A and B are shown apart, each in its own frame.
Chain A
């Protein structure tokens, strides 16, 4: 079984600040990996490197067969296989919900308008927002916008989904509805990496928890690891937030 994502000794600096100091981990097909850690531990940067939004300084990243560290990387081919959802939703404000979703299938996959519309309706139904197709993003709540962002990524039928602190901007009730959608995705066998502060969710859904500390992978294990931390750093992290 080959990994969907594998990072090997990845280093990344912003100027003189080294953010990733030799990060190594794998995520297998259908696996849900939760990356946790304090602010500044490098977890979001690691996620952005996987999608080539940041260029790494050294090491290797292979994602769905694409050599992300290679300068000949065909970024658009990588992005067809990898969906990403951001903390700030980043829906296109000038387009309706359906148009947001139809844009990439029509421009990138040359799908007909009718097919794209049908696809948009089906992914919206999956996130429970079928009736919002013709609304504009600003007419939706934060939780609904985030579910649309997830639907927009799903419409490209990615092999891997990345979630970058997708519930951090939401109140607890809205967080619940977004997590529910992610849990359904995980059950459906989607390979997922999520950077999250939702420890309960990580414990419940993630097959693998990756604790990052000071730019390194400090501790890796199943969800149950959170009940029995090995390192004092993870212990301290878990106690501080709760």
Chain B
């Protein structure tokens, strides 16, 4: 049986969920990751170490396993039936927060130390130093690698198919189960991923170029 328009529509709908899930993972991961990045450069050793342990654990665990843990773990702690979007969303937020935190920590630390000192010597509080002097400079540095990581998030949402969430990959599997044309189906799926990721990659590279011009 050939691929019909209905099948294509179903896969396209899955692609929308891939975009949605990516957005959830990115926004949630950015919020948590930003706090973690600040914690990683905190003057308090306990705060620094706690954040570091969290990041090490998350980075040292396959995302697939994290997703399983959330899917089955949430059920254990009393959620009757865990909606797939909740398990997938939480798992991806945890995953992206750890990686974004490390990317951003690097960006914060790449602002030259004398900038911190100059701000400190003007009697600015730590908060003022961070928000007025360091963050505006770090954000310029962070844009390109952050957009680059966004591509990783989009591709990794495919793992959410294992907890039954119908995103692009799962939609492809479902269609294939009815028409048994795996090669055709997954070419289409791959094409959709490419359509989503390619503009992001191009954007990331152009941001990188702009930044290099700025720094000469």
Contact = CB atoms under 8 A, between A and B. Distances in A.
A79 B124 CA distance: 9
A88 B124 CA distance: 20
Interface residues of B, number: 17
Which of A53, A86, A107 counts the most B-chain CB atoms under 10 A from its CB? Answer: A107
B137 A108 contact: no
Interface in A79-98: 79-80, 82-84, 86, 88, 90-94
Contact of A79 (B114, B122, B133): B122
Contact of B121 (A84, A91, A92, A103): A84
B27 interface: no
A80 B114 contact: no
Interface string B86-127: 000000000000000000000000000011011111111100
Contact of B137 (A53, A93, A103): A93
A30 B117 CA distance: 26
B120 to A, nearest CB: 7
Interface string B182-203: 0000000000000000000000
A91 B119 CA distance: 9
B122 A108 contact: yes
A75 B120 CA distance: 9
A156 interface: yes
Contacts of B119: 92
Contacts of A79: 120-123
A71 interface: no
A103 B136 contact: no
Chain A contact patch, size range: 20 to 34
Contacts of A53: 117, 120-121
The binding surface of chain B is classed by DSSP as helix
Interface in B5-39: none
Which of B115, B121, B136, B137 counts the most A-chain CB atoms under 10 A from its CB? Answer: B121
B122 A152 contact: yes
B209 interface: no
Contacts of A152: 122
B118 A86 contact: yes
B122 A88 contact: no
Nearest to A108: B123
Nearest to B140: A94
A92 B118 CA distance: 9
Contacts of A93: 137
A51 B137 contact: no
Given A79-B120, A79-B122, A92-B137, 18 more contacts: A75-B120, A76-B123, A77-B123, A79-B123, A80-B123, A82-B121, A83-B121, A84-B121, A86-B117, A88-B114, A90-B118, A91-B118, A92-B133, A94-B140, A103-B124, A108-B128, A152-B122, A156-B122
Interface of A: 51, 53, 75-77, 79-80, 82-84, 86, 88, 90-94, 103-104, 107-108, 152-153, 156
Interface of B: 114-115, 117-125, 128, 132-133, 136-137, 140
